[in-house]
């Protein structure tokens, strides 16, 4: 099984911020488009480590992860089978799970 | 009943009363300790929520980039602190529900243009957001206190 490890702080930015490319250089859209989604396509398992950054805003997280369903047309089941999120701060893992569920519900309406 | 048997009976009764008394005292002490711990945790949650409100206001209204940066860090730190405290409380007491309120605060404060280069810093623009934030903070306090008074009411 091919596994990819992504550390947001080491592989992207220690200060991820904003939703879209227009919001800044380290947006959720950029992370999803250039790092996360390609990794999910190319690997059977992707582990994302959220630790090491200053913190995350909801716009960044929702666009980076919720956008997998909304923009990249992945399903919740595909994401759950391929994506593992690691964080010492369960506030973020909890919110990400909610964004994925909410995006899936909207998509299925 | 012979004297010996009566003496044994009295000893047994004394022992039973002593053991029951020990259990009751122990239980009351534990409850008092729990009450104190929970009260302290709730007060820490309220203090951290107040700090979050202040940092939020500074972040969205200050024109000083240094202050904006510091308040951004403070926002992250306060959110994580409140999350840790609420999680601990909800692990021990399943009937208190503060995490959902915290999630709402997270969405309001760090959603929208938070950390965007396009963010407009203006107290008049922030006014609606600040009302929502204050309302949730007030709800956290009210629900926390109501739950505490119900859970630890004198019986």
Number of domains in chain A: 1
Measure the CA–CA gap between A86 and A92, rounded to whole angstroms: 10
Strand, coil or helix: what is B131? helix
Q: Is A99 on the interface with B (CB under 8 A)?
A: no
Measure the CA–CA gap between B51 and B73, rounded to whole angstroms: 12
Listed in sequence order, the residues at least 6 apart from A48 whose beta carbon sits closer than 8 Å to its beta carbon are A6, A8, A36, A83, A84, A85, A86
Backbone φ and ψ for A15, nearest 5 degrees, come out as -130, 65
Per residue in B124-145, pLDDT tens? 778 888 999 999 999 999 999 9
Residue A18 and residue B117: Cβ atoms within 8 Å? yes
DSSP string, chain A: --EEEEEHHHHT-SS---SSGGG-TT-HHHHIIIIIHHHHHH-SEEEEE-TTSS---HHHHIIIIIHHHHTT---HHHHHHHEEEE-S-HHHHHHHHHHHHHHHHHHH-
Q: Is A52 on the interface with B (CB under 8 A)?
A: no
CA A57 to chain centre: 12
State the ipTM, two decimals: 0.92
Give A57's contacts in chain B (Cβ within 8 Å).
Answer: 110-111, 114-115
The domain containing residue A73 runs over which residues? Answer: 3-107
Per residue in B36-56, pLDDT tens? 999 999 999 999 999 999 999
CB pairs under 8 A between A and B: 62
* Residues within 8 A of A (CB atoms), B 68-107 only: 72-73, 75-77, 79-80, 83, 87, 99, 102-103, 106-107
Per residue in B12-27, pLDDT tens? 999 999 999 999 999 9
């Amino acid at each position: 099984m091919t596994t990819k490890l992504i550390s947001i702080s080491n592989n992207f930015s220690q200060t991820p911020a904003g939703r879209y490319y227009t919001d800044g250089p380290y947006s959720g859209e950029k992370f999803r488009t250039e790092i996360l989604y390609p990794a999910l396509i190319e690997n059977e398992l992707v582990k994302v480590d959220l630790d090491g950054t200053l913190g995350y805003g909801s716009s960044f997280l929702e666009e980076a992860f919720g956008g997998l369903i909304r923009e990249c047309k992945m399903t919740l089941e595909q994401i759950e089978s391929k994506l593992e999120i690691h964080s010492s701060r369960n506030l973020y893992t909890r919110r990400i799970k909610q964004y994925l569920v909410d995006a899936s519900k909207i998509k299925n309406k | 009943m012979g004297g010996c048997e009566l003496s044994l009976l009295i000893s047994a009764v004394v022992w039973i009363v002593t053991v029951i008394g020990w259990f009751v005292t122990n239980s009351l002490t534990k409850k008092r300790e729990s009450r104190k711990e929970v009260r302290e945790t709730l007060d820490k949650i309220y203090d951290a929520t107040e700090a979050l409100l202040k940092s939020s206001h500074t972040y969205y209204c200050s024109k000083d980039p240094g202050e904006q940066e510091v308040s951004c860090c403070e926002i992250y730190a306060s959110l994580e602190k409140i999350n840790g405290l609420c999680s601990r409380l909800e692990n021990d007491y399943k009937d208190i529900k503060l995490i959902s309120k915290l999630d709402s605060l997270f969405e309001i404060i760090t959603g929208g243009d938070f950390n965007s280069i396009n963010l407009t810093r203006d107290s008049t623009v922030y006014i609606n957001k600040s009302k929502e934030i204050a309302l949730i903070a007030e709800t956290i306090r009210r629900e926390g206190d109501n739950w505490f008074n119900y859970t630890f009411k004198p019986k």
